[in-house]
């Protein structure tokens, strides 16, 4: 790949006013990499810190020189963002709280094309020098970072006025200069670029300067860093943009966009990414009131920024750009972290207002979302959220029209429906809602029953599409008392889901979405780590080949009660000790979740030859090789003192041919015995 192509806006410089307005380069649109190079000088002797400089929302600090003392405090800072839409006008740079004294700031904005990098594009090759002696060269030594896809950027400030001359290194070219300001402060700012093919030799800026600073950075926008996102389905599992199997490892965000500001929400994304999750689902708007003793915010965020220009009056045809720019940035930052975002257009009861606004509003809101987010690679959509069957009969017409209006503009993303089915016999699952037609691309299970019941029922209703355990028990719920809302209940929800044939599940942690939470000080909960152990174990095998088996466990399976104390008589996760298992058709992969310790039997004939077994402790991820026998011993307690375990079976040998539930002892061809049979290249007998 050749060096990327930068384009520049006009530089801007300000002295004594504490800020500058830097013209936006042409061509800024969704996904454009924008870089701000900023020179800050402070004449009162106070050391500059990056926090002294403010930039527009969406920009992040990518690199910075030290705060040099060249008779004054001087620093060069590099900011970047991936634009979430078209930019125009200027970027406002603030400095030192807007002091009117001897502070100055200047800069230049540039866009860089030629790559699809996400995250911080600055390579770890920063080089910074300074001098406070006249006529001293600013020299950065030999370095050949990056490859042909790299770009060098340099900023220098040379004191001494317009007589200063510079000798740029070979193959560098000046692209933007700031002349001395009107106050006579002899600051001189320039920028130069070079492709890495000519990066040898010393990088020097020379001239008769009284003092100077130089910062050279390497940026690599041509390096493709492509995270896998949820983009499609293939039978019972999801696939990413490359067609590879994608396991949904979810985290609920729910009210996250409303209960905090953008910076705090992005801190929450960092916690989610650190936990290994690759999906978060959030409400784009919600109703008002209190939930579990915590406030919620109608049609806006906790700081008074509303989703629509008429505030809480809900004119769904007049979106407020300030609010939706936050949503843009949240989705973009999620993409940078490899997180797919499940978007709920309206939280349950906010949809009542949408319905009352009439069909024109339904369609206008749908078209707005489709035009704004319909091409985002890391987005899917969830209709409903906390809606029981009666709501669908009341508002199904609205949601069908909403879906149809959106899909008339964009068909690139997946959809599902949150049906909130308490009973495993309810048909109000994603594809079982008769008020909707063709909406659900996969089943989204939501129940407070044992996960194997809702996953099993969903698979029974939808025989050919993926099933996920999308919502259920929440850890650290403010008003909870049942122990099912504990780490043990969370592990059971995940373990049962995967061992019952789910293509993913969601860990629900209330601290991630209730108000008044400082996410910058929040680390992943211990249970998040335990759920990660389960997910890692599942991802270590060919999980997408698994199908639920009612015959693999031959004894010690436990009891699946017909009723319990949960919801409408449903069975809660701690009211059953039922073990579940799934096995691939070729017998090379099997997964079994044992919620309590006991000896149990398995049908080893369902496994391919040479099967081995790893017994995984879901509380710490420790894996132990155990013998594969028809009678598996009780494992005892895990490291946390509980007794649930996950068993992963794998085999590389040939698969046994089955006749019903039996393995044939022999085959004959006429009067002759058959030594072996093959199905394609796979040996199935002999």
pLDDT at 188: 47
pLDDT at 12: 63
pLDDT at 133: 55
pLDDT at 504: 97
**pTM of the entire predicted model:** 0.69
Name the burial class of residue 453, with classes exposed (0-12), middle (13-18) and buried (19+) by CB atoms within 10 angstroms of its CB: buried
Helix (H) or strand (E) holding 188: none
pLDDT at 665: 55
Nearest-5° Cα angle at 10, 25 to 17: 115
CA distances from 501 to 42, 85, 173, 469 (A): 62, 40, 60, 10
Of the candidates 504, 500, 506, 505, which has an alpha carbon nearest to the alpha carbon of residue 456? 500
CATH of domain 245-544: 3.20.20.80
Q: Read off φ and ψ for residue 153, nearest 5 degrees.
A: -125, 140
pLDDT at 100: 47
Nearest-5° Cα angle at 177, 171 to 180: 140
Provide DSSP, 513-536.
Answer: TSSS--GGG----HHHHHHHHHHH
Structure tokens at 32: 């454009």
The 3-class SS string of 2-65 reads CCCEEEECCCEEEECCCEEEEECCCCCCCCCEEEEEEEEEECCCCCCCHHHEECCCCCEEEEEC
Provide DSSP, 454-473.
Answer: HHHHHHHH-SSS-EEEEE--
Q: Read off φ and ψ for residue 544, nearest 5 degrees.
A: -70, -10
Structure tokens at 218: 């390497």
10-residue averages of pLDDT along the chain (686 residues): 54 60 80 83 74 82 78 81 82 70 73 64 67 55 48 62 53 57 43 44 50 70 68 95 94 82 78 89 78 62 83 81 86 86 85 85 94 92 78 81 96 88 54 80 88 85 86 69 72 96 90 64 76 95 96 96 78 92 96 98 95 96 96 97 97 58 57 61 54
Structure tokens at 302: 């906790």
pLDDT at 579: 98
Rounded Cα–Cα distance for residues 159 and 205 (Å):
12
Three-state SS at 606: helix
Rounded Cα–Cα distance for residues 206 and 134 (Å):
10
pLDDT at 657: 47
pLDDT at 541: 96
Of the candidates 297, 347, 301, which has an alpha carbon nearest to the alpha carbon of residue 320? 301
Residue 24 exposure: Cα atoms within 13 Å on the Cβ side: 18
CA distances from 288 to 192, 294, 298, 350, 513 (A): 53, 11, 4, 8, 15
Three-state SS at 351: helix
Return the residue matching tokens 């310790």. 597
Instruction: State the span(s) of the chain assigned CATH 3.20.20.80.
Output: 245-544
pLDDT at 13: 58
pLDDT at 577: 96
Rounded Cα–Cα distance for residues 632 and 286 (Å):
50
In our burial notation (b when 16+ CB lie closer than 10 A, e otherwise), range 371-404 reads: ebbbebbbbbbbbbbebebebbeebbebbbebbe
């Amino acid at each position: 790949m050749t060096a990327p192509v930068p384009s520049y806006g006009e530089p801007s410089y300000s002295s004594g006013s504490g800020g500058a307005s830097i013209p936006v380069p042409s061509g800024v649109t969704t996904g454009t990499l924008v870089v701000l190079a900023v020179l800050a000088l402070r004449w009162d002797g106070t050391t500059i810190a990056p926090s002294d400089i403010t930039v527009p929302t969406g920009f992040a600090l990518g690199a910075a020189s030290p705060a040099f003392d060249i008779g004054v405090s001087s620093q060069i800072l590099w900011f970047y963002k991936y634009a979430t839409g078209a930019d125009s006008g200027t970027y406002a740079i603030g400095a030192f709280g807007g002091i009117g004294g001897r502070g100055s700031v200047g800069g230049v904005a540039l866009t860089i094309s030629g790559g699809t990098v996400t995250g911080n594009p600055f390579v770890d090759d920063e080089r910074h020098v300074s001098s406070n002696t006249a006529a001293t060269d600013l020299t950065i030594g030999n370095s050949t970072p990056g490859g042909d896809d790299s770009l060098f950027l340099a900023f220098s400030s040379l004191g001494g006025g317009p007589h200063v001359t510079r000798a740029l290194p070979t193959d560098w070219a000046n692209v933007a200069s700031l002349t001395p300001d009107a106050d006579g402060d002899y600051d001189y700012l320039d920028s130069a670029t070079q492709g890495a093919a000519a990066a040898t030799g010393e990088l020097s800026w020379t001239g008769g300067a009284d003092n100077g600073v130089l910062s050279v950075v390497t940026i690599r926008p041509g390096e493709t860093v492509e995270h896998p996102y949820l983009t499609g389905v293939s039978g019972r599992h999801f696939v990413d943009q490359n067609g590879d199997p994608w396991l949904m490892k979810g985290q609920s965000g729910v009210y996250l966009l409303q209960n905090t500001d953008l910076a705090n929400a992005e801190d929450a994304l960092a916690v989610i990414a650190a936990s290994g999750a690759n999906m978060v689902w959030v409400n784009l708007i919600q109703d008002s009131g209190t939930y579990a003793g915590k406030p919620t915010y109608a049609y806006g965020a906790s700081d008074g920024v509303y989703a629509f220009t008429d505030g809480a009056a809900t004119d769904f045809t007049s979106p407020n750009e300030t609010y939706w720019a936050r949503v843009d940035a949240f989705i973009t930052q999620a993409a940078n972290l490899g997180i797919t975002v499940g978007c709920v257009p309206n939280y349950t009861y906010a949809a009542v207002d949408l319905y009352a606004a009439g069909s024109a509003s339904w369609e206008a809101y749908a078209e707005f979302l489709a035009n704004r987010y319909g091409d985002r690679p890391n987005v899917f959509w969830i209709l409903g959220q906390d809606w029981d069957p009666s709501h669908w009969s009341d508002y199904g017409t609205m949601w069908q029209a909403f879906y149809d209006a959106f899909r008339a503009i964009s068909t690139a993303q997946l959809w599902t429906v949150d049906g909130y089915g308490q009973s495993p016999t309810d048909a109000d699952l994603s594809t079982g809602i008769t008020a909707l037609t063709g909406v659900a691309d996969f089943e989204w299970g939501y129940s407070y029953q044992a996960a194997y019941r809702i996953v099993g029922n969903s698979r029974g209703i939808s025989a050919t599409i993926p099933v996920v355990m999308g919502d259920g028990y929440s850890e650290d719920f403010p008003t909870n008392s049942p122990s099912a809302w504990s780490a043990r209940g969370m592990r059971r929800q995940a373990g049962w889901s995967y061992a019952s044939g789910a293509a993913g599940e969601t860990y629900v942690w209330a601290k991630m979405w209730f108000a008044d939470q400082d996410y910058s000080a929040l680390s992943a909960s211990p249970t998040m780590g335990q759920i990660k152990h389960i997910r890692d174990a599942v991802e270590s095998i060919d999980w997408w080949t698994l199908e639920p088996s009612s015959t693999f466990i031959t004894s010690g399976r436990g009891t699946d009660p017909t009723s319990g104390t949960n919801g409408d008589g449903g069975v809660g996760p701690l009211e059953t000790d039922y073990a579940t298992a799934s096995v691939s058709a070729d017998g090379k992969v099997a997964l079994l979740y044992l919620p309590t310790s006991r000896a149990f039997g398995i049908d080893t004939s369902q496994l391919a030859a040479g099967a081995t077994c790893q017994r995984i402790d879901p509380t710490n991820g420790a894996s132990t090789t155990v013998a594969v026998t028809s009678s598996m011993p009780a494992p005892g307690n895990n490291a946390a003192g509980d007794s649930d375990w996950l068993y992963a079976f794998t085999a590389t040998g040939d698969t046994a041919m089955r006749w019903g539930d039996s393995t044939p002892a022999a085959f004959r061809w006429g009067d002759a015995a058959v030594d072996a049979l093959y199905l394609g290249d796979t040996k199935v007998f002999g």
